[in-house]
Structure 1
Amino acid sequence: MKGFLEIFLITAAIAIVLNVVLKKFSIPTIIGYIFTGLIVGLSFNIHTNPEINHIAEFGIVFLMFSIGLEFSIKHLMTMKTEVFLNGALQMCLSGLIFAALINYFFNINENTSLILGFTLGLSSTAIVLKILNETSEINQVFGRKTLGILLFQDIAVIPLLLMIDIFNSSDSASSLIIKTLVSAIIVLSLLFFIGKYVFNRVLYYVIKTKSQEIFIATILFTIVGASYLAHIFGFSYSLGAFIAGMLIAETEYKHQIEADLIPFRDLLLGFFFVTVGLQIDVFLIIKYWYIVIILTFVIMSIKAAVVYMFLQFTNTKSNSFKTALCLCQIGEFALAVFGLLSSHKMIDDVNSQLFTLSVILSMIIAPFIIKNNKKLSSWANDEVSTVAPKIQSLSNHFVIFGYGTLGQEVVLKLKNQGIPYLVIDSDINLVELGQKRGENVYQGNVEQDYTLQAANIKTCAAVIITVSNEARLELISKKVVAYSPETNVIMRFSKDEHKIFDDFSQKVVLIKEEKVVAKTMLQEALKCRIANS
């Protein structure tokens, strides 16, 4: 125990110091965690083992659960193209190309080459979604397409593991496929039944206890339980967590759950990346450094080229290229597959380590690529116009940022009064919903001056900001005020958020949520009093 505590304290200290230093240079914390693992591994001559890897994997589990909270089943069905078409194209094309190259250049048999090929086609859910969530790009067009393909990849893990079993089993392929389908039906049925009929009732009684620790314990049990249930039937932990998240997304408690889970998710993700660093073999890098670099470059280039090739036929070049950049690294699940192949003697130790080092190197490079995808895709300046030409002549109109629940209520009242308006949202699904309703809703990025210019911010009557996310609220308001200081800006805030806007001009009107709710409730109560008198 003493030795474990010493290593834990040293690891935590290194991670804190490294990330504080790296943050000054805008380098993602992921890099700090990976290098922490490398330093600890070299200093104490320790490496990961299956038990540590299982614990570390729960960082991805919590991440996938939080992503699932953002997607109800209905929402997922609106992403059929992104998940099933784009995802299938990416996996099939990348997997077959890699399988052919591995078979030819590494002289590995066809079965193992096929497994390796599809494994290299996987991307890192942990890295990509963490960064896209931090930058709020998950709601942009390319963010949704990236997420859709990542979801399909997580599903593709099932047949990938099945392939390993088929090539090493005396059972027939058909019996294994039937067994997997039956398992899938059982898992989905159980999770659906529990989520729809049991979870809400249990959570109702937990909430009544008014105990925060019991509430958190219940959520942790739900996540781990759903993950373990999926694992028992041969699926990945993260897939079970994602399905559980989607089912809970239908409940009224999703926002409270999401807020409580963030600390656990981020800490476990950090632990996961430390274990990635522990797997780096420095001596092998020194011996085969040129092969590792070439292999990593070729794999990432092919993956990016494949994604860009089929996306650019139905999307803008800019969004296609950004999606390709986000998915060009190799996923963390590849590390587990290489371990399985080695244990089954399907790949030798040297090739296994070469591929492992390529995975880790691509994961180190990935955050820099994803963080700078806008600069790297600047050559493709073909973004779809935020505002249609017929609306660009508007003046003395209202510009609304955010088409969520509050934004839709504002639009409905403006439509009923015949007042001209324009709505801008970065979430393509909300934009499509508004346009289907025949409303003036357009996709746009507030960080681009073109968006504000096309919306005629300087000639509008007022800007109404309806977003609820504090970070987005601050970003949009400051951008609008900086672009046009004389424009009237109206926004809602809660609790202590008003401190963010203390230095704003008198043109900014802050509406406190509690006051509006209190006023509305009092008005309704007075109506009841008058009706009863």
Structure 2
Amino acid sequence: MDSHSFLNTALVFLLATVIAVPLTKRFRLGAVLGFLIAGVVIGPQALGLVGDTEGVATISEFGVVLMLFVIGLELSPQRLWVMRRAVFGAGLLQVTACSLVIGMACYYLFGFTANAAAIVGGSLALSSTAFGLQILAERKEAGSAYGRITFAVLLFQDLAAIPLIAAVPLLASSASPHGVDPQAILRTVGAIVVVVVGGRYLLRPVFRFVARANTQEVSTATALLVVMGTAWLMEEVGVSSTLGAFLAGVLLADSEYRHELESHIEPFKGLLLGLFFISVGMSMDISLLLHQPLLVLAITGGVLAVKGMLLWPLGRIVGSLNRADTLRMVVLLACGGEFAFVVLKQAGEQRLITELQQGLIVLAITLSMAVTPLVVAIVAKAIDVKAKKPDREYDTIETAPPRVIIAGFGRVGQIVGRVLRAQRIPFVALESSVEQMDTLRRFNNTSLFFGDPARPDLLRAAQADQAEVFVLATDDPEANLRIARLVRRQYPHLKIIARARNRQHVFRLMDLGIEEPVRETFSSSLKMTRKTLEALGLSSELAADRVERFRQHDMKLLKAQYLVYDDETRLVQTSREALNDLMHLFDADDDPIAKREREEAAVAPVPAQDSN
């Protein structure tokens, strides 16, 4: 590839990525799908902007190697031990069941050889870690019950992908006319032992030696050397290079250099992994979808249906999830995954499967990944509609008249409630989350009741007419405003103490007559600012004074901006003017005369008071 051709190819790749990935991310379809679409468009079957698909695939495979190294870094033995039941329970069951059922279907229904059926079944049992974790993060559900089970299954799938990748050449050799090659097995085992033993006793001293140089470039080069060296060693003995990279990552997972290594490798991994998915998209046979659409769609639907049916009892029985959470888990894990592309590519190169079989399965996996975000959105909307009619009846509130009502008993509401309980001030807390209720009831929260604070009948049952203060601690701004309107309209005597997410939320609460909404991160941010100033050398008194001046200045600015908050131009103008005023105020404080006056005032003797 000459320099001019290389520049053209690089430019096409970057342009396709910049256009396709932001578009798919905007529609919440994920970056992986964006890279695949970009590869299809610039590949030989569409625009034909890049012709050297083999050269691109060779370079892009290094992205998979780096991805396996980073996955190995994240799989520390301690982390796996903590999650052992979920990972090796739910994860092992899912991978085993799906591999067996899909493998048997390939063998008996489609005429695959036993070895090919084992590889295809194992690859289709894997789900997309990139899609699953991204969707959980976007929906802020990684910490939910179904989110934890989903993460555990994905974690085991990442582990299972390694022996699956390593098994491809071994199964290919056993499928040859000469049968199983004992030397190949011995070479594989020997190489793994060398990497494990050598890595355990050599890697840390090497990184310790390099760290003394205190040069980031050398540290990055060392990390790449370790990855490439282990990958090369594995490839020399006829094993997948990705297995070596994964082992190197696992060996360093508990080392003190783990986070530094990850930060050095991450930029290379992201770019090269994107290049790998583009190369997969370039090699996809789109003509199969045009000439045999029913077959491709049947394979896609069959994979989703089989995995979904096997995942349902896993979520209900093993994960102890309710129906809604089980459905959420199923739609996240039913699709194919990025590791399947790696496994199937190797299987095709080793002649375990035909080119046609590889093309059909890759297309089916891509389509399953494409529909996953859409299905997740549809299911979430359907479940949210049902959630408005809770399965559980609202609690009957039978308690003495409270002085305080707390709407929302999460992080903020619980702190308020603990202080009130410590001072024996009667209160009633209302919480609309069933999961939160089940958790808090274990701590003997007798003042906590299940119900939606935005319901007038629930507020009447809570005896809001006899309360003095209404603490609005819900973390949903829209729900927060609905409750505030209801309370202000029906119980105008109540003093509302409202939690606010940001300045716009503050302004809308002030529209309802709530004079001083409490910004949830404002006080903690001020405290962090004071500690930052102290760390920079300011005295604690001066740092506290600067922070207090800023607090007062910002409160005045907030009231001024409230008058013009629907005018963005005026908002920007007032912010700039306020910043200039604050800078002049601090500059005046730094004036030598002003400093001397403050110091004299601080050390001035206090006048003696008459003892009489």
Both structures adopt the same fold (TM-score exceeding 0.5): yes
Distance 1:380 1:146, change over 3 A: farther
- For the residues of structure 2 that align with 1:82 and 1:455, how far apart are their CA atoms? 39
Residue in 2 that maps onto 1:100: 104
1:84 paired to 2:88? yes
* Residues 483-516 of structure 1: CA deviation (Å, up to 9, x unaligned): 3236534479xxxxx6665644344213233433
Aligned-pair CA distance for 1:292: 1.4
- Aligned-partner SS, 1:396: strand
For residue 357 of structure 1, report the CA deviation from its aligned partner.
Answer: 1.9
Instruction: Report the secondary structure of 1:137's partner residue.
Output: coil
TM-score, normalised via structure 1 length: 0.70
Given residue 61 of structure 2, which amino acid in structure 1 is its aligned partner?
H
Residue 518 of structure 2 aligns to a residue whose secondary structure is strand
SS of corresponding position for 2:352? coil
Partner of 2:281: 277
8 A Cα contact 1:316 1:384, kept in partner: no
Give unmatched runs, 5+ long, in structure 2. Answer: 174-179, 235-239, 486-495, 535-539, 545-612
Letter of the structure 2 residue corresponding to residue 14 of structure 1: A
Instruction: Name the residue aligned to 1:471.
Output: none
TM-score (ref. length: structure 2): 0.62
- C-alpha contact 1:38 1:277 (8 A) present in aligned 2: yes
Deviation string for 1:221-276 (max 9, x for gaps)? 6588569758866664785697589648x99x97x999999877765554443233
Deviation at 1:326, TM superposition (A): 0.5
Tell me the equivalent position of 2:11: 9
Distance 1:391 1:187 in 2: 66
1:462 corresponds to which of 468, 471, 481: 471
* In structure 2, C-alpha distance between the alignment counterparts of 1:424 and 1:13, rounded to whole Å: 49
- Alignment RMSD, CA only? 5.4
Preserved contact between residue 60 and residue 273 of structure 2 (Cα < 8 Å): no
Amino acid at match of 1:484: I
| SS of alignment partner, residue 488 of structure 1 | strand
| Deviation by residue 1:327-355 (Cα, 9 ceiling, x = unmatched) | 11112222222222223222222222222
The code of the aligned residue for 1:13 comes to: L
Task: For residues 192-224 of structure 1, give each alpha carbon's deviation from its aligned partner in whole angstroms, at most 9, with x where no partner exists.
Answer: x94xx9989988x89xx8xxxx66985796588
Tell me the residue number matched to 1:135.
139
| Residues 91 and 122 in structure 1, CA contact (< 8 A), matched pair in contact too | yes
Q: Is the 8 A contact 1:386 1:451 kept in 2?
A: no
| Structure 1 residue ranges without an equivalent (≥5) | 466-475, 493-497, 527-533
Distance 1:132 1:190 in 2: 38
CA shift in 2, pair 1:261/1:451, >3 Å: farther
Change (3 A) 1:425 1:326: farther
Q: Deviations over 1:76-119 (max 9, x none)?
A: 44433321111111111111111111011221222221222111
Give 3-state SS (helix, strand or coil) of 2:41's partner: helix
Q: Hey, what's the Cα distance between the residues in 2 that align with 1:365 and 1:12?
A: 25
Matched, 1:340 2:346: yes
What pairs up with 1:178-189 in 2 under 5 angstroms? 182=193, 186=197, 189=200
Question: Take 1:499 and 1:257, find their aligned partners in 2: how far apart are those partners?
Answer: 39
Equivalent residue number for residue 375 of structure 1:
381
**Count of equivalent residues:** 485
C-alpha offsets along residues 342-376 of structure 1, whole Å, 9 cap, x if unaligned? 23222222222222222222222223233444136
Out of 112, 119, 136, the position equivalent to 2:116 is 112
Map 1:282-431; keep pairs closer than 5 Å: 282-313=286-317, 314-375=320-381, 396-397=405-406, 399=408, 401-402=410-411
**RCO higher in structure (CA 8 A, sep ≥6):** 1
Contact 1:65 1:223 in 2 (8 A): no
Going from structure 1 to structure 2, the CA distance change for 1:400 and 1:268 (only over 3 Å counts) comes to: farther
Provide the C-alpha distance between the structure 2 equivalents of 1:369 and 1:237, rounded to a whole number of angstroms. 36
Which amino acid in structure 2 is aligned with residue 116 of structure 1? V
- Counterpart pick for 1:150 among 131, 150, 154: 154
- How many Å separate the matches in 1 of 2:201 and 2:414? 35
* Alignment of 1:54 onto 2:54: no
Distance 2:116 2:210 in 1: 46
- 2:482 alignment partner in structure 1: 483
Larger Rg: 2
In structure 1, the partner of 2:579 is: none
Alignment partner of 1:171 is 2:182? yes
Contact 2:63 2:276 in 1 (8 A): yes
> 1:317: how far off?
1.1
1:298-346 CA-to-partner distances (Å, cap 9, x unmatched) read 0111111111122212211111111111011112222222222223222
Give the 3 Å change call, closer, same or farther, for CA 32–347 of structure 1 in structure 2.
closer
Match of 2:518 in 1: 509
- Could you tell me whether the CA contact under 8 Å between 1:318 and 1:383 is conserved in 2? no
Cα separation, 2, equivalents of 1:410 and 1:221: 52
Separation of aligned partners in 2, 1:258 and 1:410? 41
Question: Using a 3 Å threshold, how does the CA distance of structure 1 residues 226 and 21 change in structure 2: closer, same or farther?
Answer: closer
Mapped to 1, the partners of 2:216 and 2:432 lie a distance apart of: 33
| TM-fit CA distance, 1:121 | 0.5
Partners of 2:37 and 2:309 lie apart in 1 by 29
- The SS at the match of 2:405 is coil
The answer to whether the 8 A contact 1:300-1:362 is kept is yes
Aligned mates of 1:389, 1:243 — CA distance in 2: 50
Cα gap change, 1:9/1:178 in structure 2, threshold over 3 Å: closer, same or farther?
A: closer
Letter in 1 for 2:60: N
1:54 alignment partner AA: E
Structure 1 pair 357–170 and aligned structure 2 pair: CA distance change class (3 A) = same
Question: Where does 1:245-284 land on structure 2 (aligned, <5 Å)?
Answer: 247=254, 270-284=274-288
Question: In structure 2, what is the Cα distance between the partners aligned to 1:369 and 1:455?
Answer: 35
CA 1:398–1:28 in structure 2 vs 1: closer, same or farther (change >3 Å)? same
Matches of 2:294 and 2:452, distance apart in 1: 44
Q: Matches of 2:10 and 2:43 in 1, distance apart?
A: 12
In the alignment, the residues of structure 1 paired with residue 136 and residue 106 of structure 2 have an alpha-carbon distance, to the nearest angstrom, of 31
Structure 1 residues 264 and 367, CA gap change in structure 2 (3 angstroms): farther
Structure 1 residues 379 and 32, CA gap change in structure 2 (3 angstroms): same
Whole-Å Cα distance in 2 between the matches of residues 241 and 431 of structure 1?
44
CA distance in 2, matches of 1:81, 1:200: 35
Corresponding residue of 2:548? none
Q: How has the CA–CA distance of structure 1 residues 351 and 435 changed in structure 2, closer, same or farther, with 3 Å as cutoff?
A: same
Secondary structure of 2:16's aligned partner: helix
Contact 1:87 1:153 in 2 (8 A): yes
| Displacement of 1:180 | 8.5
- Between the aligned residues of both structures, percent identity stands at 20
Give runs of aligned pairs for residues 185-204 of structure 1, distance below 5 A.
Answer: 186=197, 189=200, 194=204
Distance in 2 (CA, whole Å) between partners of 1:413 and 1:8 is: 61
Q: Greater CA deviation, 300-309 or 375-384?
A: 375-384
Comparing 408-417 and 105-114, the one that deviates more: 408-417
CA shift, 1:132, in A, is 2.3
